[in-house]
Amino acid sequence: MPSEANINSSGMYGTSPRKPLTALLLSVCPGLGQHYAGHMKRGILLYIALIIASWLAAIAFMSIGSKFSIVFLCLPFVGVGLIALDAWACARRQPRDYHLQWFNRPWIYGAVFLSLLFTANPLMDYLVGRQVVRAFFMTSSSMQPTILDRDIVLVNKLAFPKRGEIALVKFGESKSSAKLTRLIDDQLIKRIIAIPGDTLEIRNDAVWVNGQKIDESYAHFDGTLRFSSEQSSNFGPERIPAGTYFVMGDNRNESIDSRILGVIREDQIGGTVTKVFWSWNFDEGGIRWDRTAKSLK
């Protein structure tokens, strides 16, 4: 039986039956199984459809508050499975004397796989991650108990956070002269406490905005103070300048935030943190199933 690299005496590619199992295995890269089975255009269209459906599912997952949204987490995996079954069926329908096409060559399969792995997939992640949705891995206790260390949260890049909502903040750029910026990551998760034009005051840990004490059921005081007690517990009153925001971590003693770094600019806010996507801590029992698809407030 001629291999897929062989050409017969007439200058045409030879024949070789399409093996359903091979098509199924090649579908580890969605669409490549169809490519192998002789349906290259079909494979490309299914790959594009899967990418679009996956990101739409991510948006739906972020937007729906109930645990029902976990269904949308399963859609990409279901899509991959259906594409693999389609590849198996395509190969099974081909005759045993299937005439190899120009694209039925092992090196082309490898080139397609590597190009998707190192170009198309990263480019899609980059574009969508900047404009639509991004996953963020929490590595501190500054937002406990709302967000735990080793939670993976989703950031909705399409929604700008309101007062009281949680935001992705490019905090390292807030004040280049602040020494503590060297001790924190460039991007952190914090809660919007005051917006432009608000008058903010902290009195003995209680937060007052525009003369009204706000209900902070999420506020937590645990761990060791990261800076002076006076600076942590009392602040202002100060009016928040136009185009800037005052942010704080929910775990006030463990959070380096606007109390020490000052207000942040609007262009430093990268989106609204809406949900926990996944969570684990193998030092404390493994996967935290109860946090999957948990809405954040």
Please tell me which of 30-39, 113-122, 248-257 the model is most confident about, judged by mean pLDDT: 30-39
pLDDT average, residue stretch 6-13: 50
Q: In angstroms, rounded to a whole number, what is the distance separating the alpha carbons of residues 287 and 277?
A: 12
For Cα atoms 214, 242, 169, give the angle at the middle one, nearest 5 degrees.
70
Amino acid 255: pLDDT: 86
Mark whether 190 is an active-site residue. Answer: yes
Of residues 109 and 87, more confidently modeled? 87
pLDDT at residue number 178: 44
Q: Which residue has the higher pLDDT, 283 or 94?
A: 94
Region 26-34 average pLDDT:
94
Where does the pLDDT of residue 60 fall: very low under 50, low under 70, confident under 90, or very high at 90 and above? confident
Contacts 24+ apart (CB under 8 A), 28-31: 29/112, 29/113, 29/116, 29/117, 30/79, 30/80, 30/83, 30/84, 31/83
Q: Which of 141, 142, 174, 258 is catalytic?
A: 142
The yes or no reply on domain 135-295 and CATH 2.10.109.10 is: yes
Name the more confident of 226 and 163. Answer: 163
Give the C-alpha separation, 218 to 297, whole Å.
Answer: 8
Comma-separated ranges of CATH 2.10.109.10 domains in the chain? 135-295
Per-residue pLDDT band for 137 (boundaries 50, 70, 90) equals confident
Phi, then psi, of 3 in degrees rounded to 5: -80, 170
Task: Estimate to the nearest angstrom the gap between the alpha carbon of 151 and the chain centroid.
Answer: 12
Q: What is the pLDDT of residues 197-229, one digit of tens each?
A: 999 998 888 899 999 999 888 988 876 666 665
pLDDT for 64 equals: 80
**Average confidence (pLDDT) over 219-242:** 76
pLDDT at 175: 46
- Is the confidence at residue 9, as pLDDT, over 60? no
Binning pLDDT at 50, 70 and 90, where does residue 171 land? low
> 231: pLDDT confidence band, cut at 50, 70 and 90?
low
Among the listed residues 157, 190, 275, 294, the single catalytic one is 190
User: What is the average per-residue pLDDT within 129-138?
Assistant: 78
- Clarify whether 67 is annotated catalytic: no
pLDDT above 90 (res 282): no
Q: When comparing pLDDT for 240 and 222, which is higher?
A: 240
Mean pLDDT of the residues in the chain? 83
Confidence of residue 79 (pLDDT cuts 50, 70, 90): very high
Q: What SS3 class is residue 270?
A: strand
pLDDT value, residue 11 = 44
Predicted local distance difference test score (pLDDT) of residue 266: 93
As given in the structure block, the two tokens for residue 224 are 């060791």
- Rounded mean pLDDT, 92-109: 91
For range 245-268, the mean pLDDT: 89
